[in-house]
């Protein structure tokens, strides 16, 4: 998480990051402090990264858009592959 804060990704799967939100910065979010990073992408997709609360691992969550379920699933799969090098 520290590395992602220090050197935030500029893109995922060819989609530019248009906004990065660090939920440890309560002044910018207005929410309680949390060890969560959110990356909004130019195509409307979102990548959320946070540590597990019970295990020593990092979790990622995705929201994607598509004209149908198959298209949204394909984008989720591409984002999944794009984040893997961040945690290798």
Percent of all residues in the chain with a pLDDT value above 90, rounded to a whole number: 78
Integer CA distances (angstroms), 59 to 19, 67, 88, in order: 20, 27, 13
What's 12-77 look like in SS3?
A: ECCEEEEEEEECCCHHHHCCCCCCCEEEEECCCCEEEEEECCCCCCEEEEEECCCCCHHHHHHHHH
Predicted confidence (pLDDT) per residue in 19-54, tens digit: 999 999 999 899 999 999 999 999 999 999 999 888
**pTM greater than 0.85 (yes/no):** yes
Instruction: Look at residue 87 in the predicted model and tell me its pLDDT.
Output: 82
């Amino acid at each position: 998480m520290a590395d992602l804060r220090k050197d935030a990704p500029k893109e995922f799967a060819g989609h530019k990051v248009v906004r990065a939100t660090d939920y440890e910065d309560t002044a910018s979010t207005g929410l309680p402090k949390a060890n969560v990073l959110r990356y909004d992408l130019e195509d409307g997709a979102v990548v959320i990264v946070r540590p597990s609360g019970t295990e020593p691992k990092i979790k990622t969550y995705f929201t994607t858009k598509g004209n149908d379920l198959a298209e949204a699933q394909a984008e989720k799969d591409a984002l999944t592959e794009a984040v893997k090098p961040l945690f290798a």
